[in-house]
Structure 1
């Protein structure tokens, strides 16, 4: 498991999303594939990866990689990448 955190910055858009930080940690550890993504946030609204992070996830996802959305107390929702980013552009499109 690789963790990331959201890093806000007063000079927008220079902050970093937690998903991007976790993917960077995964790559630095020598891994290349995401089996599952877990996003945890406080509050009532579901917090799903932003569009840029959805694309980053697509670059490393397996066909059945799930994106699981949590609150501090419970699993709130589970999505496939295709549900969050239909018709995604993947590394296979570069061949």
Structure 2
């Protein structure tokens, strides 16, 4: 939507995870997530443009059920059974000068 130099943006996204429960590790406790975002931009004149945006990720709670096989080198590390929770906030700003 534009209104005399102003631009308004919104968005929603669904991002399914490729990681299955039996392979989820603490370093990357990924799971399905929904994104909501909003942004505003203002073009002062042809040379200057300013933008600000915000996004929030709602991440579904993730279970971990790592059980290494008895013959794998990781067998001595044991099992990792647990649950992860999380969310992400992203803020971005931009200034453009054209010459």
TM-score range, shorter chain: under 0.3
Tell which has more relative contact order, 1 or 2 (C-alpha 8 A, sep 6+).
2
Please identify the structure whose Cα radius of gyration is greater.
2
TM-score, normalised to structure 2, is 0.25
> Which structure carries more helix by proportion?
1
> Which structure carries more strand by proportion?
2
